[in-house]
Amino acid sequence: MTIEEQAKLIIEKFPRPITEKDPFKVLIRTILSQRSRDENTDEAAERLFKAGYDKPEKLASAAPEELYELIKPAGMYRQKAKRIIEASKAILERFSGKVPDALEDLVSLPGVGRKTANIVLYVSFGKEALAVDTHVHRISNRLGWVKTKTPEETEFELMKVLPKELWGPINGSMVEFGQKVCRPVGPRCKECPLKDVCPSSREKKK
């Protein structure tokens, strides 16, 4: 089974529907998601947006202390409050209040790295962009698709072996796959659809 076939199988078996496309909300949610569980990120983002902080104008004028309790579930709330306020100010001052749709512009925003930028590009703008988080980096190496040491290295190596139409969907599906089956500790190899081709599979070694 080729790498492309394996990727398509993961996307098919572990779909992750896109529920939010608003560029600003996707950007802020992704910043909040850094080093946070999905359920905690969801709670923090929902509380923040319900409180009216769903536009760059409102967040840019906020004091960090106003946001602490709202985003506390996502962890690192002091740093994240500062980041989302600074990112909002930059969007207002440099991009006329619109989230930019170019990678180089997105990564110029405070608190925005390549992973966050690529998620926004794919989810909100429908562009071919490959977001590599800890799940994508770990599983790609575990499956033997790449041999890399950092998520950024993984991004560029995966771009060589995956067709562009799979770049966007693979992130969400890898997250689902990594949480449900290919877990960092105690992977459920018996349930894995790739157990017969995975070089790390415990089932193959029996």
Q: 130: Cβ–Cβ under 8 A, 6 or more apart, which residues?
A: 118, 155, 158, 159, 162, 167, 168, 170, 171
Specify the CATH class of 3-16+130-191 in words: mainly alpha
Give residue for tokens 């579930």: 73
CA atoms within 13 A on the CB side of 174: 23
Q: Would you state the pLDDT for residue 19?
A: 86
Q: Each residue of 65-122: pLDDT tens digit? A: 999 999 999 999 999 999 999 999 999 999 999 999 999 999 999 999 999 999 999 9
Q: Each residue of 130-181: pLDDT tens digit? A: 999 999 999 999 999 999 999 999 999 999 999 999 999 999 999 999 999 9
Q: Would you state the pLDDT for residue 200?
A: 86
Over residues 54-65, the mean pLDDT reads 96
Domain map (residue ranges) of the chain? 3-16+130-191, 23-125
Q: Is the dihedral of CA 145, 153, 167, 178 positive or negative?
A: positive
Catalytic residues: 115, 133
- The CATH code of domain 23-125 reads 1.10.340.30
Residues 161 and 15: their CA atoms lie apart, in Å, by: 21
Q: Would you state the pLDDT for residue 23?
A: 97
